[in-house]
Amino acid sequence: MGMNRREFVQVGLLVGGAGAAGAALLIKTNLSKETSDPTGAATVRRLPVLNNIRPQENEDMLVRMQRELVRAMAKPVEQRHWRMVIDTRKCIGCHACTIGCVAENKLPPGVVYRPVVTEEFGEYPNVQLRFTPRPCMQCNSPPCVPVCPVKATWKRPDGVVAIDYDKCIGCGYCVTACPYNARTRDLGEYYTDGAAVGATREPDRPVLGPHAPWEDKPNNEYAKGWDRRNGDSPAGNARKCHFCLHRLEVGQLPMCVTTCVGRATYFGDGNDPESVVSQMAAKPNSMRLLEHLQTHPSVVHLI
Amino acid sequence: MSHKILNSIVLVLWMALIIFGAAGLIERLRHGHESAAYGSYVVWGLWVSAYVYFIGLSAGAFLLSSLIYVFGVKELAKVGKLSLFMAIVTLFMALISIWFDLGRMDRFYMVFTSPNFGSMMAWMVWLYTAYTLLMLVELWMALRPDLARWAGQEGWRATIGRVLSLSKGPLNEKQEQSAGHWLRVLAAAGIPLAISFHGGVGALFSTLSARPFWHTPLMPILFLTGALVSGGALMAFVVAGFWPKRDEEYRRMVEYLGRAVLGLLVFDLILEWAEFSVPMWYGVGGEYALLMTVLFGPFWWAFWILHFGLGTLLPMLLLVLKPKQPWAVGWAGVLVAVTFMTVRLNIVIPGLIEPHLQGLQNAFVHRRLTFHYVPSLFEWQVTLFVVALGLAIFYLGRHLLPLTEEASEHAR
């Protein structure tokens, strides 16, 4: 056996042709970084919210951010860049943001968008706590986006990293690619699955039922009604924080911002130099989580 | 008589395996991932490891068959078809393993209709699709002459022969030559393909900058070597244990395979030394801690006993001390091939158990949000179902297709 010259040439053609096709695909993919979102004037929202409330000194930060949000929404989508600034010194570790987010987005077991990391320093009597809320960092160099095999996730023109639940195949690759563990996997579970719904005559034998009907209520992520019944998306998908895009669209701040008891979370348009986030992000005590990984997060922490 | 008893015992064991496994399969199809132990932080577990393991066996067996056809290794000339068939069986096992891991099994086709060629995973899927097609055509080219000879005979062989060879009787000389020609061409074209797709599986892990444990340029090379070791060992076992005719040629064949496995084992050991010693040498850093967990953590025995003792040291001793004994080569082969699963587990899982943000595991507590992972019984069931299925396909192929010398002789 062994190969003759003609066979060798044919192998060369096969391998060379396949290699050239592959290289062409790779170049084409890397040249066109398209986004799946519309841009331009059509994306401008005319939100009438707060028109009748005049700015005043010492107003609640939420009112100011609300006003800035309306201003930002009046611009085409590519001209705003959503940012979040979290003041860890003001965070009291109440987890209201985590729970507010779970309620807003109807997150199932195993899925969390904004946990609050609690760290304890020192030994008695010199003990300190630090709370670090961790939403999606909405990185400007997101490691999770290029790994998706089916183009189901992308960076929006306004800076938010979005997922198309109708496309995601649930392979988990993006979940492994995120250094912040900000993506979680919806495995199609319910908190109340197998919970007691009644009692038999025997005292210690409760009747276990299917999950409660309120867990079937669709959520409104990406301004679409998502019904997880029958294992439909987003069940089976990767999920992550999206700065409550569906709320921004109707002139509401993200849920974690509005539920923050200590007003420790600031949110707004980083392209607006007058916005509170632009001012806060420039403080010398600002830092970005895992900055050395060069993911360039849109979320800044003040320490 | 004793042969019959042995056969029935094997059959009973296989039935037990497939029933036990099918229970897991039904659970997977009815309740999805509910009974699985992986979650949102350790997203990949036993099934991804099994996928990497099986696909490694496939790439290894395929590269062995290609070397035989392309370079005309005389000692192994007759192992080619069996190797090719094993490569297809193990590829099938790999693909269903990873399919069960998908959150949306119904959407796997999206990788074809909406591919992102910037993603290593998309490349991997496209490359092993090409690999599957190439192997099927190649196997057909390899078997067609014998199948066509069967077509001219009587009985069940004739039916199989006619259907599969698309020929009513033996091929003429020109057709046989053409089959041999395309067999060699495809085998040669398959070498870069197998190297790129299995190197690509390594790159799928190593390109992730967020996972320092995986993020090493050594990974694709390690995957390829691992594929050759485990696939070669599997073939050494299959040939030593299941070759029909135990003549002098058989003994030479097994000895040759044994020597190849020994050489590859040594090379793999050198790479493994680099993989462990470089990040660990000065005893500081995050990877040092992770590797210490692999070596001396709760699953120390997977590395030391299964991988190092049974999967490396013992087979090496067998191959060095008894290189001419088929039983020794067969045992060495099966030990290396089976225990290689621990190597795959020790790559996939440690890469995921270390959060960058310390304290995340306590931030929002749920069993799906921990950095601790041990495969659940259900996950093992599904994997064992895949194994049982693979064994069945191997058995059927060996009995129904002219894969070995004996079968070819029926054709003459």
Q: Among A128, A141, A150, A174, which would you mutate to test the B interface (most chain B Cβ atoms within 10 Å of its Cβ)? A: A150
Q: Give the model's pLDDT for residue B67.
A: 86
Q: Which of B104, B352, B355 sits opposite A176 (nearest CB)?
A: B352
Largest CA distance in chain B: 73
Structure tokens at A215: 């867990």
Largest CA distance in chain A: 90
Label residue A1 exposed, middle or buried (CB < 10 Å: 0-12, 13-18, 19+): middle
Which of B88-104 are b and which e, b meaning 16 or more Cβ less than 10 Å from the residue's Cβ? bbbbbbbbbbbebbbbb
Structure tokens at A189: 């579970």
Q: Give the model's pLDDT for residue B409.
A: 58
Cα distances from B209 to residues A46, A113, A296, B203, B289, in angstroms, run 42, 22, 14, 11, 18
- pLDDT tier for residue A55 given thresholds of 50, 70 and 90: confident
Structure tokens at B184: 């060699």
Q: Give the model's pLDDT for residue A2.
A: 63
pLDDT per residue as tens digits for the range B283-295: 998 889 899 999 9
Structure tokens at A89: 């010194």
**Sign of the CA dihedral with B62 first, then B67, B69, and B73 last:** negative
Q: Give the model's pLDDT for residue A214.
A: 86
| pLDDT of B199 above 60 | yes
pLDDT per residue as tens digits for the range A6-44: 888 888 998 899 999 989 888 888 887 667 788 888 888
Q: Which of A119, A148, A167 sits opposite B119 (nearest CB)?
A: A148
A251 within some domain? yes
- CATH number for the domain harbouring residue A261: 3.30.70.20
Q: Do A187 and B360 touch (CB under 8 A)?
A: no
Integer Cα distance of B228 and B58 in angstroms: 9
More confident residue, A240 or B3: A240
Query: How does the average pLDDT of chain B come out, rounded?
Result: 91
- Residue A260 distance to chain B (closest CA, Å): 17
- pLDDT tier for residue B319 given thresholds of 50, 70 and 90: very high
pTM score over 0.90: yes
Structure tokens at B267: 């090379």
Residues in chain A within 8 Å Cβ distance of B130 = 18
- Residue B242 distance to chain A (closest CA, Å): 25
| Cα angle A154, A157, A162; round to 5 | 30
- pLDDT tier for residue A58 given thresholds of 50, 70 and 90: confident
Percent of chain B with pLDDT over 90: 71
- pLDDT tier for residue B411 given thresholds of 50, 70 and 90: low
- pLDDT tier for residue B406 given thresholds of 50, 70 and 90: low
What SS3 string covers B5-18? HHHHHHHHHHHHHH
Give me the amino acid identity at B103. Answer: G
Residues of chain A numbered 93-152 and touching chain B (CB < 8 Å): 95, 98, 109-112, 115-119, 132, 134, 143, 146-152
A57 within some domain? no
Domain that holds residue A88: 64-302
More confident residue, B72 or A49: B72
Number of domains forming the structure of chain A: 1
Residues in chain B within 8 Å Cβ distance of A172 = 43-44, 101, 103
- Residue A296 distance to chain B (closest CA, Å): 14
Give me the amino acid identity at B390. Answer: G
| pLDDT of B412 above 60 | no
Contacts of A192 (CB under 8 A, 6+ apart): A211, A212, A215
Residue A68 CB coordination number (10 Å): 21
Integer Cα distance of B283 and B287 in angstroms: 9
Q: Among A173, A176, A256, A301, which would you mutate to test the B interface (most chain B Cβ atoms within 10 Å of its Cβ)? A: A176
